[in-house]
Amino acid sequence: MATHKLLLLPGDGIGTEVMAEVKRLIDWLNSAGIAKFETEDGLVGGASYDADKVAITDATMAKAHASDAVIFGAVGGPKWDGVPYDARPEAGLLRLRKDLGLFANLRPAVCYPALADASSLKREVVEGLDIMIVRELTGGVYFGEPKTITDLGNGQKRAVDTQLYETYEIDRIARVAFDLARKRRNKVTSMEKRNVMKTGLLWNEVVTAVHKADYADVALEHQLADSGGMNLVKWPKQFDVIVTDNLFGDILSDIAAMLTGSLGMLPSASLGAVDAKTGKRKSMYEPVHGSAPDIAGKGLANPVAMLASFGMALRYSLDMGDLADKLDQAIAAVLAKGLRTADIKSEGTTVVSTSQMGEAILKEMQALL
């Protein structure tokens, strides 16, 4: 049995509470002989600042580089409002993304049957929904130079952001999307604005070329990002994998997320380049939500986003897709039984704490395995 090295970075706020539920699951998988995880704990964000006055230490970064996957909780909170800019909790997250070269952000939007009525859309539109948005994370208009504000001296200012993409950046994200589609329903929708943007033209050209060269077996379609956004709320079940740039992906993934209910349910993955030695991608898995200082320490946090993020690690970094399927089934089963954390409660359901939810999901896993 292969040994998988995981770095667990709970962070602060509810990060530590939801990570405890992942640890509970890992401990059981190890003791039951189902998998072999070697885990190390590290500090990041406010927790790291309190201990070492930096958002993440070089030693922890070295462990991140050496691990098969980083499992990240959440960071931030008013307690660290006054700390130096480079040491603020979010800087730890940014350093991980940058140093690990995590250019592909995977945001699934899955609608659990038991929660179909919690969506902002009608049940029939979202029931059974399972889409994956692949957002380019390290390029585009958030990073392109020049990026300036100039005072024009006549009472006017000029602000410039630059949307910039090169072939290799589009090529590598397209490959991530096509690889994912092959493990799913074999369809990729690429979104850009080739009608008004040069980067859109290049995006379309490169995705098309990658498809033709290496992925002709996958169905590819192109949509303009604005009408793609309309289609997302009109008929989201037409999509399998959506691949798009940093800005459009930021917006479209948030829209898709809300089709499925609470922030406490949403996992994510960030993938980097393939490591020449291991043949695996650098990777980090984290819930979409933050540290939720308003509910931290009260046992109210929904651990599903964190557990589902661990599930994505099983699937995309650790070659344990079957186990990931079981975890998804266990989550669905617990929801179907009416167990809810406070963020997703509705009439006729039973409200449970973070650890009760984690225990219930583990129990379902044990029954399934």
Site string for Mg ion, 232-271 (x = CB under 5 A): ------------------x---x-----------------
Taking the C-alpha atoms of residue 97 and residue 333, their distance in angstroms, rounded to an integer, is: 33
Ramachandran class of 119: left when φ > 0, alpha when ψ lies in -120 to 50, beta otherwise: beta
On the 0-12 / 13-18 / 19+ scale of CB atoms within 10 A, 351 is middle
Taking the C-alpha atoms of residue 65 and residue 127, their distance in angstroms, rounded to an integer, is: 39
CB 256 within 8 Å of CB 148: no
291 binds, among Mg ion, ligand NAI, none (CB under 5 to 8 A by kind): ligand NAI
By CB under 6 A, residue 250 contacts ligand NAI: no
By CB under 6 A, residue 290 contacts ligand NAI: yes
Q: Among 93, 106, 252, 256, which residue interacts with ligand NAI (rule: CB under 6 A)?
A: 93
| Closest CB to ligand NAI among residues 44, 314 | 44
74 binds, among Mg ion, ligand NAI, none (CB under 5 to 8 A by kind): ligand NAI
| Closest CB to Mg ion among residues 193, 289 | 289
Q: Name every residue whose Cβ is closer than 8 Å to that of residue 157 and which is 6 or more positions away in sequence.
A: 149, 150, 151
Q: Which of 226, 234, 322, 337 is catalytic?
A: 226
| Closest CB to ligand NAI among residues 92, 228 | 92
The question of whether 130 is a catalytic residue gets the answer no
Taking the C-alpha atoms of residue 195 and residue 201, their distance in angstroms, rounded to an integer, is: 8
Q: Which stretch binds ligand NAI (CB under 6 A): 28-36, 75-83, 94-102, 138-146?
A: 75-83
By CB under 6 A, residue 305 contacts ligand NAI: yes
Q: Which stretch binds ligand NAI (CB under 6 A): 157-165, 229-237, 248-256, 299-307?
A: 299-307
Of 281, 238, 286, 232, which is closest to residue 260 (Cα–Cα)? 232
Encoded tokens for 49 = 């600042």
CB of 258 to ligand NAI, least distance (A): 12
**Residue 107 marked ligand-binding:** yes
| Closest CB to ligand NAI among residues 92, 200 | 92
Of 218, 219, 183, 188, which is closest to residue 203 (Cα–Cα)? 188
By CB under 6 A, residue 291 contacts ligand NAI: yes
The question of whether 254 is a catalytic residue gets the answer yes
The question of whether 161 is a catalytic residue gets the answer no
Give the number of other CB atoms < 10 A from CB of residue 83.
17
Taking the C-alpha atoms of residue 43 and residue 19, their distance in angstroms, rounded to an integer, is: 12
Of 143, 240, 250, which is closest to residue 184 (Cα–Cα)? 240
The question of whether 316 is a catalytic residue gets the answer no
CB 272 within 8 Å of CB 102: yes
Encoded tokens for 95 = 């350093």
CB of 357 to ligand NAI, least distance (A): 10
**Residue 297 marked ligand-binding:** yes
Taking the C-alpha atoms of residue 257 and residue 232, their distance in angstroms, rounded to an integer, is: 11
**Residue 90 marked ligand-binding:** yes
Q: Which stretch binds ligand NAI (CB under 6 A): 50-58, 73-81, 159-167, 253-261?
A: 73-81
**Residue 300 marked ligand-binding:** yes
Query: Cα dist. 219→50, 56, 185, 187, 315 in Å?
Result: 50, 42, 9, 5, 22
CB of 254 to Mg ion, least distance (A): 5
Q: Which of 193, 240, 282, 343 is catalytic?
A: 193
**Residue 225 marked ligand-binding:** no
Quick one: which H or E segment has residue 119? none
294 binds, among Mg ion, ligand NAI, none (CB under 5 to 8 A by kind): ligand NAI
The question of whether 226 is a catalytic residue gets the answer yes
250 binds, among ligand NAI, Mg ion, none (CB under 5 to 8 A by kind): Mg ion
Quick one: which H or E segment has residue 102? none
By annotation, the residues acting in catalysis are: 142, 193, 226, 250, 254
Binding site for ligand NAI (CB under 6 A): 14, 74-77, 90, 93, 263-264, 286, 289-295, 301-302, 305, 341, 343
Binding site for Mg ion (CB under 5 A): 250, 254
